[in-house]
Structure 1
Amino acid sequence: MSITVGKLFGNGTVLYQMKLLAGQKGLNNLVEWMHIIENDEVSEFLHGNEVVLTSGILNSSDGWLLEYTKKLHSVGTSAFIINIGPYTKSIPKEVIEYCNEVKMPLYTIPWETRMVDLTRDICYRIMQSEQVEISIASTIKNIIFKTGDLETLILQMERYGYLRDSTFCFIVMSFENRDNKELEFNINRIKLYSERIARSINELYISFSYKNCWVLALVNYSNYNVNNFVNTFFKNWNEPLWKIHMGVSENKDGIKVQAENFNNAFTAMSMARKKNKEVIFYEELDIHKLLLNAKDKEVLKEFYNETLGKLEKYDKENNTDLVNFLFMYLQNNGSQGLVAEKQYIHRNTVNNQLKKIEKITGYNPSNLEEKLRFYLGFYIKDVM
């Protein structure tokens, strides 16, 4: 839950005579740190989501400031502050227009304002914000995993503005990154990207990592806003080497019931991974939901072993593909003609395969009741 540019510099006018010249639409940009940078080449080493402060000591040509501004934006700078004085006497119109275009807040401070004082104050406030973020995340995790006194934890959440009857929707995201970058780097990218979207919709949310996944709790978001978050996330996701799988819980009222709600989101994410889907909403799981809530998982396992389990074992031992053949048969409503057409085989071949499946499992795929057993077996396979 990183702090935004707007919140960070909300009292900057009074304390440091800051003026916002451009980029008002970027005030929700998230900030992780602040630097004083005078050399435009150093900007290439920034990590993104930082505020840059400069006096423009190297401002030796008419186009220097615009080019520097473009470099800062290219590395994901959240906001740009220019110390007006002997090196930069005014801000060119082109720089203001560019910052408006790319939604990067552009501030000025007078020469009398000491850059070191501003930087120290802002960095301290960023660290304070991080401590609050850690505390909130720790509290909601203690509630979810039932650690500590529940009422004490709820009171702590209320002190941070999360009321006991608030509505929570959990979103769990797992990811696969084929460029082999470090896990911590991946999670941080997901964190900043998802928080930026969440912040643009509503201010209340909580984020934390769990089992190599990133978790976002959207607080008091309507169902429309939850869908808006999901759609915006995937619409603007432009990392082709990353595969994101997302599970979304229901919107539930009350902090006390959020342990189950979180688990439902994690379950939906696991299903999304198994089915290789971008997102699955828990409320859309239907039959899977019944199976997932079955208390005796051994019963499900035994049922599976008696149906599809036998077929899987046969496929493995004989290098056949009867499980997928059966799945296609069921997906086509038991139509031998459609299966023959899609598989480019004769209907007699389809019939022979079905007889083989019956011989192996003891169940006839053409019989309505026994066909249902196979359907259920595939559903159980999804949740095992």
Structure 2
Amino acid sequence: MAGENGLDRIVKWVHYMENPGYIDWLKGGELILITGILLGKKVDKLLELVKNLNDKKVAGLVINVGPYIEATPKEIIQLANSLNFPVFELPFEVKIIDFSQSICKAIFNSKIEKESMESFMREIIFNDVTYSEEILNRAMLYGYNPECEYCSLVVYMDNLTSFIGTSEVWDQEAELRTKEQVEQIIIKIMNGFNKKTIHVSQSNSIIVMFPINDKDKKKTVNLISENIIKEISLKIEKLQISIGIGTYWRGFEDLKKSVLRAQKALKVLRINGRKNRICKYSDIGVYRLLFELEKSSEMKSMYEETLGKLIFYDKKNSTELVNTLEVYIRENCNLIMAAEELFIHKNTLKYRIKRIEDILECDFKDLEQILNFSIALKIGKLKN
């Protein structure tokens, strides 16, 4: 009837409410049913009701059209469309109690299925599991198709804690509501690409698995990721999202590896300051090796032997030569570009580079040494 763009709102329960005075008792997510027995044809009161329900973040309004409200007023339709607030009509012949029971039953069954799927997926991803025919059959029950190739995404809510804290008093209900809203946006986008997802919420992340049999897999995955970020930015203002993309997989036993790789891609985004909001594991380069050696004493030794003198100098003299070195190498040793990035004069940068060469006893014309410094800087980011 109206508010089609708000159909991704989550319905948590059905509530029959004729008296607008009970609005303050709503928590959000309810689907409200009315016959209009108290409001009747008072359009101004109905408009006020729709505004207030939208402010309370309810899922939508169902009008049981009949003797009290013969048809939804056009003013209500216009307002609902402007607010993206779903409004439906229910024929008066349909008993509200029957309608309510059907919706509540569907909500309950959906919740049980979701909890079961998430419990199963957490077991697979975060525990050591022996893969068996029983595991495979259960995965197929939740939508896994062994004939398809899959891709894994980890959608990370960067600022979930501060987002909840600034938008409303922190509570589990607010956190859950935000995560569910993000989930619904992801599912809606995946449906648009005709992708059936298997997903699970974990801490500040939503892990998503979907079939990817497209000819241009890379293009499709990038487009899906970009759409997720774009849609969440539009629907949930100020919530910042990053996405890590894992490797493609076919056998269910490779799911865990793909998810862990997506998480590593996210970590690279974080340690490099998130200049981009999407990172593919296939693009993280030498970090792939460094993650494998992360707990190695040899890696720690290389870091200290390569950059130790410069780190000590910075601490002793309150300078930032390590950062200068990092920017200089990142800008391919281009003095002009690096100076602009550091907001300093080119001659100042020349002096710093000469000072770094003296401290580290190196020559930046030696590409092998630059490579060593680049790797050591990346090790430092992983350490910190």
Over aligned residue pairs, what C-alpha RMSD do you find? 3.1
Residue number among 168, 172, 182 corresponding to 1:193 in the alignment: 182
Q: 1:296 to 1:90 in 2, by over 3 A?
A: closer
- 2:145 maps to what in 1? 163
Post-superposition Cα deviations, 1:210-235, rounded to whole Å, max 9, x if no partner, equal: 3x322231312554443333223332
Question: Contact (CA 8 Å) 1:22, 1:107: kept in 2 or not?
Answer: yes
Residue number among 241, 244, 255 corresponding to 1:244 in the alignment: 241
Question: Contact (CA 8 Å) 2:15, 2:32: kept in 1 or not?
Answer: yes
- 1:322 maps to what in 2? 321
TM-score (norm 2): 0.81
Residue number among 230, 254, 259 corresponding to 1:235 in the alignment: 230
- 2:73 maps to what in 1? 92
Post-superposition Cα deviations, 1:79-106, rounded to whole Å, max 9, x if no partner, equal: 3211233432332233345545655543
Report the AA paired with residue 193 of structure 1: V
Q: 1:338 to 1:160 in 2, by over 3 A?
A: closer
- 2:257 maps to what in 1? 260
- 1:182 maps to what in 2? 170
Q: CA deviation at 1:136?
A: 1.0
Q: CA deviation at 1:244?
A: 3.1
- 2:63 maps to what in 1? 82
Secondary structure of the corresponding residue to residue 253 of structure 1: coil
**Mapped pair 1:272 → 2:269:** yes
Report the AA paired with residue 195 of structure 1: Q
**Aligned 1:1-384 pairs, distance under 5 A:** 21-22=1-2, 27-43=7-23, 46-60=26-40, 61-99=42-80, 104-151=85-132, 152-166=134-148, 167-176=150-159, 177-178=161-162, 180=165, 181-182=169-170, 184=172, 185-202=174-191, 204-210=196-202, 212-221=203-212, 223=217, 224-236=219-231, 237-238=233-234, 241-277=238-274, 278-294=277-293, 297-336=296-335, 344-345=344-345, 347=347, 350-384=349-383
Q: CA deviation at 1:307?
A: 1.6
Question: Contact (CA 8 Å) 2:10, 2:180: kept in 1 or not?
Answer: no
Q: 1:109 to 1:149 in 2, by over 3 A?
A: same
Q: CA deviation at 1:286?
A: 1.9
Q: CA deviation at 1:145?
A: 2.8
For 1:141 and 1:191, locate their aligned partners in 2 and report how far apart those are by CA, in whole Å.
Answer: 17
Secondary structure of the corresponding residue to residue 35 of structure 1: strand
Q: CA deviation at 1:368?
A: 2.4
For 2:294 and 2:319, locate their aligned partners in 1 and report how far apart those are by CA, in whole Å.
Answer: 34
For 1:249 and 1:196, locate their aligned partners in 2 and report how far apart those are by CA, in whole Å.
Answer: 20
Q: 1:134 to 1:287 in 2, by over 3 A?
A: same
Secondary structure of the corresponding residue to residue 43 of structure 2: coil
For 1:369 and 1:183, locate their aligned partners in 2 and report how far apart those are by CA, in whole Å.
Answer: 53
For 1:93 and 1:132, locate their aligned partners in 2 and report how far apart those are by CA, in whole Å.
Answer: 39
For 1:336 and 1:94, locate their aligned partners in 2 and report how far apart those are by CA, in whole Å.
Answer: 63
Q: 1:225 to 1:106 in 2, by over 3 A?
A: farther
TM-score (norm 1): 0.81
For 1:322 and 1:162, locate their aligned partners in 2 and report how far apart those are by CA, in whole Å.
Answer: 51
Question: Contact (CA 8 Å) 2:2, 2:86: kept in 1 or not?
Answer: yes
Q: 1:226 to 1:64 in 2, by over 3 A?
A: farther
For 2:252 and 2:262, locate their aligned partners in 1 and report how far apart those are by CA, in whole Å.
Answer: 15
Report the AA paired with residue 91 of structure 1: T
Question: Contact (CA 8 Å) 1:191, 1:214: kept in 2 or not?
Answer: no
Q: CA deviation at 1:124?
A: 2.5
Report the AA paired with residue 39 of structure 1: N
Q: 1:345 to 1:103 in 2, by over 3 A?
A: closer
Q: 1:183 to 1:79 in 2, by over 3 A?
A: closer
Moved more, 61-70 or 307-316: 61-70
Report the AA paired with residue 376 of structure 2: G
Report the AA paired with residue 209 of structure 2: L
Moved more, 123-132 or 168-177: 168-177
Q: CA deviation at 1:133?
A: 0.6
Number of aligned positions between the proteins: 362
Q: CA deviation at 1:114?
A: 3.4
Question: Contact (CA 8 Å) 2:9, 2:184: kept in 1 or not?
Answer: no
Q: 1:345 to 1:170 in 2, by over 3 A?
A: closer
Post-superposition Cα deviations, 1:183-220, rounded to whole Å, max 9, x if no partner, equal: 7333531332242232243262233333x322231312
Question: Contact (CA 8 Å) 1:304, 1:377: kept in 2 or not?
Answer: yes
Report the AA paired with residue 262 of structure 2: A
Q: CA deviation at 1:257?
A: 0.4
Q: CA deviation at 1:129?
A: 0.6
Secondary structure of the corresponding residue to residue 204 of structure 1: coil
Secondary structure of the corresponding residue to residue 20 of structure 2: coil
Post-superposition Cα deviations, 1:280-299, rounded to whole Å, max 9, x if no partner, equal: 22222122223223476332
Q: 1:68 to 1:318 in 2, by over 3 A?
A: same
For 2:88 and 2:337, locate their aligned partners in 1 and report how far apart those are by CA, in whole Å.
Answer: 66
Instruction: Indicate the structure with greater strand content.
Output: 1
Question: Contact (CA 8 Å) 2:118, 2:201: kept in 1 or not?
Answer: no
Question: Contact (CA 8 Å) 1:143, 1:153: kept in 2 or not?
Answer: no
